[in-house]
Amino acid sequence: MPRPTDVDATPERVVRTRMTGTQRREQLIEIGRALFAERGYEATSIEEIAQRAHVSKPVVYEHFGGKEGLYAVVVDREMSRLLEMVTSSLKQNRSRIRVERVALALLTYVEEHTDGFRILVRDSPVAAPDGTYSSLLNEAIGQVGHILAGDFSRRGFNPDLALLYAQALVGMVSTTATWWLDERTPPKEVVAAHLVNLCWNGLTNLEADPQLGTDRSHTAPR
């Protein structure tokens, strides 16, 4: 019986495909996003990012210049993604549909890009002023305020108060989305429906000159 040759005894060698520069960059962005969401900017190190990617630290520096550069890319991508979803939802002509779409767009982003939302709401001090969740909310407030100003004018209300109402509406939706980030119940469609119920029915029954119900002639109880 013939003896096995050295070739027969040699285990099959695993061939690993080398990543291209673009593939490596995308890998580092994904790893960075996950770590920043899990631990925050300060607690995440270049060394840990490199370890997860199975590369040396100089590779990370080569692509992004450092942790701050990688974080900036992650934030910019998430901001662009969320802004596109919110902006697209405002293209409807009917006001109620706009409110529905905005609420559902933000909740959908939270559901599909949880790590990204965690990073955005954390607002790291290294992020540029125009690249934070707060700046995105301000932009949304401006757009909603513009829409409400037109609605107010048509209904005989003071359009100068549109931004005040926009602040309240966007703040309510944003705060609810942050709460739902960890709760995840009820389903996003149910949450959006209740948000719209509160927003829309409140606007439908809007008073032109609201007054507080408190009798100001009485001294507040101590």
Assess whether pLDDT exceeds 60 at residue 218.
no
Output the pLDDT for position 209: 76
The pLDDT, as a whole number, for residue 106 is: 92
Per-residue pLDDT tens over the stretch 55-66: 999 999 999 999
- List pLDDT tens digits, range 50-93: 999 999 999 999 999 999 999 999 999 998 999 888 888 877 77
49, pLDDT greater than 90? yes
Domain spans of the chain, in order of start: 74-204
Q: Under DSSP, is residue 102 helix (H, G, I), strand (E, B) or coil?
A: helix
Amino acid identity of residue 207, one-letter, is E
State the Cα–Cα distance between residues 220 and 222, nearest whole angstrom.
Answer: 6
Give tens-digit pLDDT for 84-136.
Answer: 888 888 777 777 888 888 899 999 999 999 999 999 988 555 555 556 788 88
Half-sphere exposure at residue 53, Cβ-oriented, CA atoms within 13 angstroms: 28
User: In whole numbers, what is the pLDDT of the chain averaged over residues?
Assistant: 84
Superfamily name with CATH number, domain 74-204: Tetracycline Repressor, domain 2 (1.10.357.10)
Q: How far apart are CA 22 and CA 19, in angstroms?
A: 8
In this predicted structure, what is the pLDDT of residue 14? 45
At 210 the three-state DSSP class reads coil
User: pTM to 2 decimals?
Assistant: 0.76
154-191: pLDDT as tens digits: 889 999 999 999 999 899 999 999 999 999 999 999 99
Q: pLDDT confidence of 196, banded at 50, 70, 90?
A: confident
* pLDDT for residue 127: 54
Torsion over CA: 95, 98, 104, 110 (sign):
negative
Of the given ranges (4-13, 71-80, 137-146), which has the lowest mean pLDDT? Answer: 4-13
